[in-house]
Structure 1
Amino acid sequence: MSTPSSSSRGGFAASPLALGLMCLALFGIYITSDARLQTDSLWSIPSAASILHEGNTDLDEFRRSFFPGTAYARNEAGGHTYYVYPPGVMVSALPFLAAAEGLISLLEPVLPRMGTFGAEALAWRALFRQTGGVDLSAFARTEQLIASFYVAAAAAVLLVTLRRRVSPGAALVTVLLFGLGTTAFSTASRVLWQHGPGLLTIACVMLLLARPAQTGRTALLLGFWVAAAYACRPTHSLTVLVVTGFMALRFRRQLPAYFAGAALVAIPFCAYHLAVYGSVFSPYYRHSLDPLAGRFFMALAANLVSPSRGLFTFSPFLVLGVVGFVQRWRQRSLEPYEVAFALIVVLHWAAISSFFIWWAGHSIGPRFFTDVLPYLAYFLAFPVQTILEAPSRHRVLAGALVVTAVFSVFVHWRASISYDVHNWNSYPANVDADPSRVWDWKDAQFLRALPARYR
């Protein structure tokens, strides 16, 4: 197993301070980027409010807020209305919302004397406790703060994981590219999609899986985070399948602990769905895949290289992640868990290309690939280390990394501060009505990142 050289183990990049500053920097960048487009996330905060204030997850108390534009995000079951998306999303918001509401209540006597901050805090609590007709867009900032925390936390866990495999400097550069040059920035950190909490669960899975051995304690934690990933997003079922198979093949003695950890999430998850839908899976978890459809191979290509949905179009430096995997495979230095990481990415690519809405609806670039970005970043770290160790010997590779990184960071930054990039989804035509637009190089979504006066 390759490890960082002894000379690279010290220094600032290896320090806890670097880890902390990186997290603060990413979180600060995320929360000061103003583009917050609520779509799937609209009912995440009201659903969490319903849990805290009424002890249930239905949205019945918000019926006066229902309008046709949000109907796609609601389910009717047993005479009640529920948020259609996975329970992991609303549960992930609970600790932050409960803490904020409790702290505001505790400070209520002094908040009126704290000027604008105090007034805004009291106004937020009033909004959070409101039922009936509620301005859902007023929760966009709240969603952004929570989502930004989860993405920054995922970056922290990923950095710890990569420090075990490459030099601290290479790990830091790789994670910054993950955090600023991908849809982790332009999608997962914007509002409370499923992607933000899901990224943290996958980063934790990687941290625990990338070990030479498993103990009962680590297997228990691994099972918990694998199940939590599935509770956040159904496509993480691929992580469930691959990691469970990996444990069965290599650490069979730890399977009881692994399944015990998974049960901590699976039992309440199934119980909730049985109580609400009469089934262990909600309708959202029963979407079918159709790899035999005529569009499948076109969707495979579109999700990689199309001008408006391609992974390697919006984050071209990730091509080096593929290079990193191939190099390790050719050197016969792949660890078994690295094979698992790569297998999950390939299966995920096939799965998202089998969806009926393979273009990911109204979104920024390759949104559906967001969930496996930590796996891709893992393999990217090896070429990054090669470049940092001997930049003069790898000038072409270094130049390619710099140019593609600058391009990627610019595009995702613009998508996070301007709605111009988002507007591509609707103008001049709705992409849901005409998915072929993703191949239009004359009106590529990434070109909308350029300010209008330069286009």
Structure 2
Amino acid sequence: MRSRIALVITLLFAFATSTWTISAQGLWQHGVLNLIVLAMLVALIQAHRSPQPWRWHLAAGLACGLLPGIRQTGLLFAAVALLYRLWRDRGRSAWFCLGWISAIPALWWNWHYFGNALTGAYRDATYLYQWDHFSTSLPGLLLSPSRGLLIFTPIALFAVPGFWQLLKQLKRQQLTHTELTLKSSIDWLLAGIWIAGCGVLLTYSFFGQWHGGYCYGPRFMTDVAPIVCLMLGYYLDALRQAWPQQKRLAGLLFGLAASFSMLTQVAGIAINPTVDWNTIPYSFGYPADLPRAWDWQDSQLMRSFHGMQHHSYAKMLNTEKYVTQFRGRILQVTDFQDQAITPPGRLDRAVPYQFLKIQIQNQGHHRWYGYQTGIGIGETMVQGDLYNAQNQRISTTIFYLSSTCLPGETCSAIGQLFTPTPPGNYSLKLQLALVGIGPQPNRNPPYRLTLAVP
């Protein structure tokens, strides 16, 4: 039975966590961190079973030494392993400590190139030890519709009762055994690793870029994916001993959570709009953009589901007919407070980018589709080309329509216009365009707006 549980949690780790969408899709360090943490656990456990434990002690030490160089958060897991080894058998920990020699290359590299041994390129300024930041980032790491662990991987919620079952087992073992057994040793080790995982969560809660930048879902929480799945094993082990009615209800909830977790991962690797969310309608990552992390209407998941919904429509779209009947007009340009910008509009050089809205009217016979629909090719946008006084184009900005716009309706396209540095007058040329097709011939001339940089 426990071999079946092991198979289940292995499949969940592979296909129901961000291991699939993060570790398997790019050269992040999270996948290597997970591998070395699991190798460390295997070595520590095998050391109790082997007639020659020194080999496994050495292997565990080598794994621990590598962890801080892979990701700084790996130091928490390595510290737990060190404390466990010293507590379990201090007298025979020499080989384990010798294995930490593997940390020397990373320590030397950091010291040589960054002037410190542990933090490397990271500085204290990247962490914000403030309550306002913590009170936003901790809920964001767990519940944000675009970055929350429990939103993208709701199966992780069952790891909490799994840890509770682990604590109950430890208590029973203390009452029935006067000496540590192999089972209780493993349980104590995994309890410590769970605590280290909680420490990882708290560490990222103080990190300035807690959202993980351009990614899909809770990238930073990939570090704790193996620990979460191990706790799911304890939950399933307790579930098989529950009363039949409890087992059916709990099993149903577990199955639904697992299915949704896998669905979110499939959406992340198969649907382009999930990645586009990071840059459309504007780049995500600036402090002023963080409210997007709490936008439930246009979250990464909603963008994914809309993309799946409209995927078949995009294939059936008669592009030639759609382009021929595409008609529209740019009415005016406003700021995000809907204040009209009249020429010459003033750009503040102290602000690196300006949020703008472009008011557009659909004068054709077909509805327009925006980025929230996830249709991709054929979405309506406004292309903005910025020219200097010498009529040289210096930048191009795309302003995106959000949802849909029916014939005759007036809608808004939004985006970021990056502020040019040299002072002077600039001309912003705006014209309607279609994603994947480009600017469209239009009965109305391009909209031009004069902007001034003092």
TM-score of the two chains, using structure 2 as the length reference: 0.59
Q: How far off its partner does 1:185 sit? A: 0.2
Equivalent residues in 2 for 1:11-22, closer than 5 Å? none
Higher helix share: 1
Counterparts of 1:82-101 in structure 2, within 5 Å, are: none
Could you tell me how far 1:387 is from its partner in structure 2? 4.4
Partner of 1:205: 40
Letter in 1 for 2:260: F
**Conserved? CA contact 1:174–1:384, under 8 Å:** no
Query: 1:235-246 to 2 correspondence within 5 Å?
Result: 235-246=73-84
C-alpha separation in 2, matches of 1:282 and 1:341? 22
How much does 1:389 deviate?
A: 6.5
CA distance in 1, matches of 2:123, 2:77: 17
Q: Mark the CA change 1:209 to 1:300 in structure 2 (over 3 Å): closer, same or farther.
A: farther
Which has the higher Rg, Structure 1 or Structure 2?
A: 2
TM-score, normalised by the number of residues in structure 1: 0.59
Greater length-normalized contact order (CA 8 Å, ≥ 6 residues apart): 1
* CA contact 1:170–1:388 (8 Å) conserved in 2: no
Kept after mapping to 1: 8 A contact 2:21/2:268: yes
Is residue 268 of structure 2 the alignment partner of residue 431 of structure 1?
A: no
Q: SS where residue 295 of structure 1 aligns?
A: helix
Aligned to 1:396: 249
Q: Is this contact kept in 1: 2:54–2:95, CA < 8 A?
A: yes
Flag as ranges the 4+ runs of structure 1 deviating above 6 A.
none
Partner of 2:219: 367
Other structure's SS at 2:87 match: helix
1:175-204 residue CA offsets vs partner (Å, 9 max, x unmatched): 101100110000010011111211110111
Cα deviation code 1:385-408 (max 9, x no counterpart): 344577944111111111111111
What's the counterpart of residue 190 of structure 1?
Answer: 25
Aligned equivalents of 1:312 and 1:249: distance in 2? 34
1:443 aligns with 2:443: no
Give the equivalent residue in structure 2 for 1:322. 160
Judge which range, 209-218 or 319-328, deviates more: 209-218
Matched residue of 1:426: which SS?
coil
* CA apart distance, 1:173: 0.8
Gapped regions of structure 2 (runs ≥ 5): 173-183, 311-372, 374-454
The alpha-carbon deviation at position 272 of structure 1 amounts to 3.2
Query: Hey, what's the Cα distance between the residues in 2 that align with 1:291 and 1:205?
Result: 31
1:42-441 equivalences under 5 Å are: 167-210=2-45, 213=48, 215-263=53-101, 265-281=102-118, 283-287=120-124, 288-331=126-169, 332=171, 335-387=187-239, 392-393=244-245, 394-433=247-286, 434-441=289-296
Identity of aligned residues (%): 26
CA gap 1:355/1:275 in 2 versus in 1, 3 angstroms = closer
After TM superposition, give the deviation of residue 435 of structure 1 in Å: 1.3
**Separation in 2, partners of 1:209, 1:289:** 33
Change (3 A) 1:225 1:285: farther
CA distance in 2, matches of 1:211, 1:291: 40
Residue type at the aligned position of 2:5 = A
Distance 2:45 2:159 in 1: 17
| 1:291 match: secondary structure | coil
Local SS of the residue matching 2:93: helix
How many corresponding residue pairs? 289
Rounded to whole Å, the distance in 1 between the matches of 2:225 and 2:92 is 28
How far is the alpha carbon of 1:303 from its aligned partner? 0.8
